[in-house]
C-alpha cells in the first residue's frame, strides 16, 4: 500500500507533479479557485464558462500549470453541491482523482484539503473536518490498489505507471493534528480492504482453505488476536457433517477458522461475524457452466471480508468484543463428492437433503452459524457470495440483507449509505421458510420448484441455524466482484470491511 503523508504548505508554492484540488459545484470559481485562476491567467474561469468543469461529483479537469505554479499540473475534482456532500462523496472524488493522476503517469501526487470547500461542508465543525480529510486519504488509498503478485518482474520495456508518493496538504497548520489522526485511521482501513482484495484475487491453487488458515494465524499474531483452526478430525468429532460434506470431493482439507478479539470486558457478549470461505466453487456434481468459472475463486469473499474486518477492528483498537468465524472448503466433483439426493447431518443435529451440490455455501454456513452459538453472541452477521439470484435483484449496485431483527437491518442500511457499501432488505416471509422444508429430512438446500426468490430462500435455509439472537445475512455475490466505484478496481472489491467497521462503531 502507498504511504500517505501530510505537509503544511502554501497552495501556490507546493512542489509536486500533480496537485489535486477538491471543489464544490458552483456556477463560477469559488474563493480558493479564484486565487489559482489569477495565477493561471483565467484558465479555470474559461473552463467554467465552457462547462468543461463545474464541480459536479467526480468530474475532473487536468490543467498544465505551464510554470505558473510550483506544481507541474493542477487536477480539479468535483465533490458536488456543498449541501449534499458527504464523507463518502469526498472519498469517491478522491478516488476518481487519484486514478486520473495515475493514468496520467504522475509519480508524485498531492491533495490540497481546500478550506473554502471543506468549511462549507463541515460548517466549522472540527470533527467533521477530520472525517472529510480522512475520506480523502481513504479514497485515494483505495483507488491506488494493484495486485501484481503473479506478474513477471521483467517489465523494463513497459513498466507499470504507479503513484509513488501521496501527500495531503492541510490548508492551515491548525489542521495538522486532525489530519495526522485522519491519515492514521484511513491507512488502517485501507490496509484491511487491500488485505481482503488480495485474498480474493489469489487463484484457487494458492488460496486454499489451508492458505486462509495460515493467513489468519499470521494476521492474528500481528494484531494480538486469538486464532484457532479446526481441522477435519476436530470437525468430525464435533459432527460438522454439512461443512465436511461440501469438502468431500476435494483433496484440499477443510478448515474452520475462529478469531477472537476482546476489546472490552470478556463478560460482554460479542458480535460474531461469519464468512463463507469456498476457496473454489466448481458446483460439485451439479457442475457450473465453464464460462467465467475462473471467477469462482471469489467464492471466499465473505471469508476475506471477515478476516480483514477483524484486522481493522484490532488495529483501530475498537472497545468491543468480536468473534470472526470462517468456514473454508473447496467444492469439487471428486469420486467422494456428495451427490444430489444425499442427506447430511449438521452440527445442530438437523438433517439436510442436498438437492443441488452448487448450493454449498449455505451448507458450510449452517455449521459455522451453529458453532457461533457457543459464544452466546449479542448478534450475528454472516457474509457470503451465496446466490446468483441477488444479481437479478440488485445487480452489482448493492448487497441483499435478510434477517430477524429490524434494528440491525436499519443500522446496516445506514452504514451502507455512509460508506457507499449499500445494502437493501429483502423480506423473510413464512412462505419462504416453508419452501426449504424437506419431505425426507429436516431441510433441503434449495427451495421447492416454482418458488423463485433464490436469495431469500437461501437465507430462509440459514435461519434455523442462526439462533435466537439478532441475526442478519448479507448476500455479497454482486458486490464482492465487479462493484464499480471510483475507488474500486477491476475484480475484487473488498466489499463489506468498511460497512462492518462503520456498523460496529455506531451501535445505535
- Predicted TM-score (pTM) of the model is 0.96
For residue 362, indicate whether it is catalytic: yes
State the pLDDT at residue 121: 67
| Claim to verify: residue 334 and residue 218 sit in the same structural domain | yes
With 70 as the cut, is the pLDDT of residue 158 above it? no
Average pLDDT over all residues of the chain: 95
| Claim to verify: residue 383 and residue 243 sit in the same structural domain | yes
Q: What is the pLDDT of residues 253-283, one digit of tens each?
A: 999 999 999 999 999 999 999 999 999 999 9
| Claim to verify: residue 207 and residue 97 sit in the same structural domain | no
In the block, cell 468459472 appears at 293
Residue 332 to residues 207, 286, 308, Cα–Cα distance (Å): 15, 10, 26
| Claim to verify: residue 106 and residue 210 sit in the same structural domain | no
CA 377 to chain centre: 23
Residue 320 and residue 313: Cα distance in Å, rounded? 9
97's grid cell: 482523482
Residue 32 three-state SS: helix
CATH number at residue 322: 3.40.630.10
Of the residues 194, 213, 229, the one at which a domain ends: 194
| Claim to verify: residue 13 and residue 90 sit in the same structural domain | yes
| Claim to verify: residue 310 and residue 255 sit in the same structural domain | yes
| Claim to verify: residue 109 and residue 220 sit in the same structural domain | no
Closest CA to 76 of 24, 23, 128, 28: 23
| Claim to verify: residue 211 and residue 161 sit in the same structural domain | no
Per the structure, the complete domain to which residue 402 belongs is given by: 202-505
422's grid cell: 449499500
Of the residues 163, 194, 225, the one at which a domain ends: 194
Of the residues 194, 221, 252, the one at which a domain ends: 194
Count of domains observed in the chain? 2
Active-site position among 276, 362, 485, 498? 362
| Claim to verify: residue 454 and residue 471 sit in the same structural domain | yes
| Claim to verify: residue 112 and residue 229 sit in the same structural domain | no
| Claim to verify: residue 343 and residue 394 sit in the same structural domain | yes
More confident residue, 186 or 128: 186
| Claim to verify: residue 307 and residue 372 sit in the same structural domain | yes
Residue 283 and residue 279: Cα distance in Å, rounded? 12
- Which of these ranges, 28-37, 121-130, 246-255, 300-309, has the smallest mean pLDDT? 121-130
Q: What is the pLDDT of residues 424-472, one digit of tens each?
A: 999 999 999 999 999 999 999 999 999 999 999 999 999 999 999 999 9
Using the Cα atoms of residue 352, residue 349, residue 338 and residue 328 in order, give the sign of their dihedral: positive
CA 414 to chain centre: 16
CATH number at residue 115: 3.40.220.10
With 70 as the cut, is the pLDDT of residue 356 above it? yes
Active-site position among 81, 217, 228, 288? 288
Amino acid at each position: 500500500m502507498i504511504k500517505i503523508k501530510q505537509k503544511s504548505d502554501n497552495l501556490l508554492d507546493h512542489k509536486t507533479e500533480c496537485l489535486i484540488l477538491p471543489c464544490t459545484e458552483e456556477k463560477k470559481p469559488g474563493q480558493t479557485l479564484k486565487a489559482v485562476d489569477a495565477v493561471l491567467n483565467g484558465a479555470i474561469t474559461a473552463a467554467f464558462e465552457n462547462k468543461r468543469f463545474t464541480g459536479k461529483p467526480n468530474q475532473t479537469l487536468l490543467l498544465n500549470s505551464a510554470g505558473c505554479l510550483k506544481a507541474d499540473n493542477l487536477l480539479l475534482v468535483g465533490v458536488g453541491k456543498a449541501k449534499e456532500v458527504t464523507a463518502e462523496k469526498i472519498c469517491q472524488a478522491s478516488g476518481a482523482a487519484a486514478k486520473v493522476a495515475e493514468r496520467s503517469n504522475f509519480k508524485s501526487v498531492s491533495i490540497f484539503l481546500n478550506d473554502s470547500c471543506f468549511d462549507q461542508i463541515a460548517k466549522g465543525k472540527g470533527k467533521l473536518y477530520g472525517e472529510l480529510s480522512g475520506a480523502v486519504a481513504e479514497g485515494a488509498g483505495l483507488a491506488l490498489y494493484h495486485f501484481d503478485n503473479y506478474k513477471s518482474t521483467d517489465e523494463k520495456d513497459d513498466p507499470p505507471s504507479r503513484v509513488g508518493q501521496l501527500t495531503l496538504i492541510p490548508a492551515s497548520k491548525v489542521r495538522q493534528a486532525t489530519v495526522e489522526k485522519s491519515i492514521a485511521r484511513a491507512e488502517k482501513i485501507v490496509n484491511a480492504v487491500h488485505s481482503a482484495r488480495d485474498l480474493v484475487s489469489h487463484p484457487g491453487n494458492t488460496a486454499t482453505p489451508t492458505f486462509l488458515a495460515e493467513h489468519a494465524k499470521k494476521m492474528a499474531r500481528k494484531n494480538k488476536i486469538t486464532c484457532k483452526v479446526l481441522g477435519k478430525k476436530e470437525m468430525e468429532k464435533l459432527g460438522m457433517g454439512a461443512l465436511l460434506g461440501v469438502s468431500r470431493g476435494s483433496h484440499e482439507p477443510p478448515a474452520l477458522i475462529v478469531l477472537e478479539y476482546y476489546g472490552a470486558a470478556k463478560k460482554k457478549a460479542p458480535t460474531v461475524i461469519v464468512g463463507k470461505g469456498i476457496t473454489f466453487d466448481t458446483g460439485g456434481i451439479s457442475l457450473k457452466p465453464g464460462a467465467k468459472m475462473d471467477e469462482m475463486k471469489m467464492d471466499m469473499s465473505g471469508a476475506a471480508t471477515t478476516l480483514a474486518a477483524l484486522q481493522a477492528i484490532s488495529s483501530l483498537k475498537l472497545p468491543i468484543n468480536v468473534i470472526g468465524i470462517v468456514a473454508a472448503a473447496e467444492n469439487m466433483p471428486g469420486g467422494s463428492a456428495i451427490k444430489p439426493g444425499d442427506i447430511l447431518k449438521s452440527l445442530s443435529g438437523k438433517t439436510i437433503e442436498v438437492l443441488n451440490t452448487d448450493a454449498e455455501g449455505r451448507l458450510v454456513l449452517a455449521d459455522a452459524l451453529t458453532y457461533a452459538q457457543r459464544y452466546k453472541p449479542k448478534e450475528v452477521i454472516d457474509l457470503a457470495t451465496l446466490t446468483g439470484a441477488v444479481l437479478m435483484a440488485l445487480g452489482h449496485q448493492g448487497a441483499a440483507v435478510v434477517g430477524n431483527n429490524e434494528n440491525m437491518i436499519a443500522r446496516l442500511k445506514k452504514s451502507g449509505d455512509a460508506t457507499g457499501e449499500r445494502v437493501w432488505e429483502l423480506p423473510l416471509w413464512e412462505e419462504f421458510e416453508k419452501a426449504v422444508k424437506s419431505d425426507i429430512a429436516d431441510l433441503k438446500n434449495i427451495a421447492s420448484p416454482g418458488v423463485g426468490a433464490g436469495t431469500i430462500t437461501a437465507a430462509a435455509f440459514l435461519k434455523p441455524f442462526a439462533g435466537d439472537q439478532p441475526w442478519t445475512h448479507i448476500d455479497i455475490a454482486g458486490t464482492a466482484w465487479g462493484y464499480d466505484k471510483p475507488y474500486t478496481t477491476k475484480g475484487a472489491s473488498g466489499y463489506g470491511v468498511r460497512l462492518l467497521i462503520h456498523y460496529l462503531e455506531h451501535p445505535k
